[in-house]
């Protein structure tokens, strides 16, 4: 679950800008895996809920929430291999965007697991724009917890979501 954290994200908000404008959201996420992660990689379902603060070109900050549902063909306490999924972003003004993430890269650096999901907004504000969601969680803590508790199913962390920034 070390790869299911969030704290930064980029997504559109209605009153701050138009539906195709680039936006950056930052926040925190709690991620959960099923089955719980162990030392050996295995197929895993991922569920995460994020609280974001989003800003657009107008410079206004607005709250949003994100719900991520995805999977990894080979996840463990140490890393996840090629996770993909879908995120629903709900903006404070009531609008909703859906982002489908169809590719990813995973990196472990200096005690952090970092996953960058790449996809496209398929519905709502930002429809048709590319989206990138970068997750960061503490890898060492998850690995230690995995050794002590045998498995891990919860991983809080930070995320950055960028929509339309290319």
Q: Where are the domains of the chain?
A: 6-163
Instruction: Provide the 8-state DSSP code for 79.
Output: -
The residues pairing with 106 across neighbouring beta strands, listed in sequence order, are 115
**Are residues 5 and 156 in contact, defined by beta-carbon separation less than 8 angstroms?**
yes
Give CA separation, 146 vs 19, 61, 112, 166, in Å. Answer: 43, 38, 15, 38
pLDDT in the model for residue 149: 63
Q: What is the pTM of this model?
A: 0.83
pLDDT in the model for residue 18: 52
pLDDT per residue, tens digit, the chain (166 aa), is: 333 333 333 333 333 445 677 889 999 999 899 998 888 899 999 999 999 999 876 778 999 999 999 999 998 877 778 899 999 999 999 999 999 999 999 888 777 888 999 999 999 999 999 999 999 887 655 566 676 666 677 788 899 999 998 7
**Are residues 97 and 61 in contact, defined by beta-carbon separation less than 8 angstroms?**
no
Round the CA-based radius of gyration of the chain to a whole number and report it: 15
pLDDT in the model for residue 78: 73
Give CA separation, 26 vs 41, 61, 139, 147, in Å. Answer: 30, 10, 21, 31
């Amino acid at each position: 679950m070390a790869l299911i954290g969030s704290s930064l994200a980029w997504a559109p908000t209605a009153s701050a800008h138009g539906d195709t404008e680039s936006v950056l959201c930052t926040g925190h996420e709690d991620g959960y895996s099923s089955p719980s992660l162990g030392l050996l990689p295995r197929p895993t379902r991922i569920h995460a809920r994020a609280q974001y603060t989003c800003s657009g070109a107008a410079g206004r900050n607005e709250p949003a929430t994100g719900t991520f549902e995805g999977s990894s063909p080979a996840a463990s306490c140490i890393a996840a291999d090629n996770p993909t999924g879908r995120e629903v972003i709900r903006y404070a003004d009531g609008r909703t965007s859906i982002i489908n993430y169809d590719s990813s890269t995973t990196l472990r650096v200096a005690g952090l697991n970092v996953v960058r999901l790449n996809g496209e907004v398929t519905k709502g504000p930002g429809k048709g724009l590319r989206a990138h969601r970068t997750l960061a969680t503490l890898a060492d803590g998850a690995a230690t917890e995995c050794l002590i508790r045998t498995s891990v199913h919860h991983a809080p962390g930070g995320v950055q979501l960028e929509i339309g920034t290319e």
